[in-house]
């Protein structure tokens, strides 16, 4: 029923109780989860996790925080090779993050451009991280625009104008748990754009929604994000979840309507 298109379930924060977290998400009706890589090693772990569970898929990419210099050919080759794995459905997490004073915009831009070109080459959707960098993000997407360039704006933090521009460029708007915060501006964005352009995520273990704010986030909490969207859109929860599920499966080319499936039998 519910969809979490961005959850770092393969991260160390879940090493001690990952099986319990997966049990809870199954009990709460999460039927699709995408675990993104942030460099070659985390991408490998994401792929390994996705191989164990029917409902989990992965993406491979290079997060802007992991970009110290222009992406070397070896890294590109490794990520392209990893992208051939059967459960890889996108390129990401990639993008631009200018939040910290020591960021290297030039290296981030070059790395993101390389990753976008890899997404176009492989005809896979891109998972974009943009923080305090909307002007450069939109410029880069326009420069690299191609008929098959598409994806999601992960953990969206912009306004309605930015959201509509992203949609025009072929991207869906992924809403995290911050939409439930009292001072969040995301409810206005959710209100103003079509439900068919929205996706839901947790970004777990980060950004827990109300009523779990301040605690470790986990994928079962995505139901609170979906519930907030349903409230804003004045739609039944089941209908909201159904539309978001369809959008996610179509974008990431994931067939069928998988129920909250268990671990694969080996």
Question: For 226-240, what is each residue's pLDDT tens digit?
Answer: 999 999 999 999 999
Residue of 173, 162, 110, 165 lying closest to 142 (CA atoms): 165
What confidence score (pLDDT) does residue 258 get?
A: 41
What confidence score (pLDDT) does residue 198 get?
A: 98
Q: In this predicted model, what pLDDT tens digit does every residue of 147-195 receive, in sequence order?
A: 999 999 999 999 999 999 999 999 999 999 999 999 999 999 999 999 9
Q: Is the pTM of this model over 0.75?
A: yes
Share of the chain above pLDDT 90, in %: 90
Q: In this predicted model, what pLDDT tens digit does every residue of 69-105 receive, in sequence order?
A: 667 888 999 999 999 999 999 999 999 999 998 889 9
Widest distance between CA atoms in the chain? 49
What CATH topology corresponds to 2-251? TIM Barrel (3.20.20)
> What is the edge-to-edge ordering of all strands in the sheet holding 56-60?
2-4, 30-36, 56-60, 88-97, 126-131, 151-154, 171-175, 198-200
Report cis status (omega within 30 of 0) of the bond before 166.
no
Residue of 169, 140, 166 lying closest to 154 (CA atoms): 166
38-76 in b/e burial notation, b at 16+ Cβ within 10 A?
bbbebbbbbbebbeebbbbbbbbbbbbbbbeebbeeebb
């Amino acid at each position: 029923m519910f969809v979490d298109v961005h959850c770092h379930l393969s991260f160390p924060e879940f090493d001690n109780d990952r099986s319990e977290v997966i049990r809870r998400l199954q009990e709460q009706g999460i039927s699709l989860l995408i675990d993104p890589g942030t460099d070659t090693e985390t991408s490998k772990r994401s792929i390994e996790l996705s191989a164990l569970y029917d409902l989990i898929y992965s993406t491979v990419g290079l997060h802007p925080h992991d970009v110290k210099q222009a992406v070397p050919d070896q890294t590109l080759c490794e990520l392209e090779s990893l992208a051939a794995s059967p459960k890889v459905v996108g390129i990401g997490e990639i993008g631009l993050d200018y939040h910290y004073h020591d960021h290297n915009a030039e290296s981030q831009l070059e790395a993101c451009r390389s990753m976008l070109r890899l997404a176009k080459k492989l005809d896979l959707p891109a998972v974009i991280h943009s923080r305090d960098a909307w002007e450069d993000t939109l410029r880069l997407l326009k420069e690299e625009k191609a008929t098959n360039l598409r994806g999601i704006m992960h953990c969206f933090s912009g306004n309605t104008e930015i959201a509509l521009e992203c949609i025009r460029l072929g991207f869906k708007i992924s809403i995290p748990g911050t939409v439930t915060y009292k001072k969040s501006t995301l409810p206005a964005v959710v209100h103003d754009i079509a439900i068919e352009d929205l996706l839901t995520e947790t970004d777990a273990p980060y950004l827990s929604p109300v009523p779990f704010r301040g605690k470790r986030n986990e994928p079962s909490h995505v139901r609170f994000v979906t519930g907030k969207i349903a409230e804003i859109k004045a739609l039944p929860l089941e209908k909201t979840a159904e539309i978001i599920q369809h959008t996610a499966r179509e974008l990431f080319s994931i067939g069928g309507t998988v129920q909250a499936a268990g671990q694969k039998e080996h």
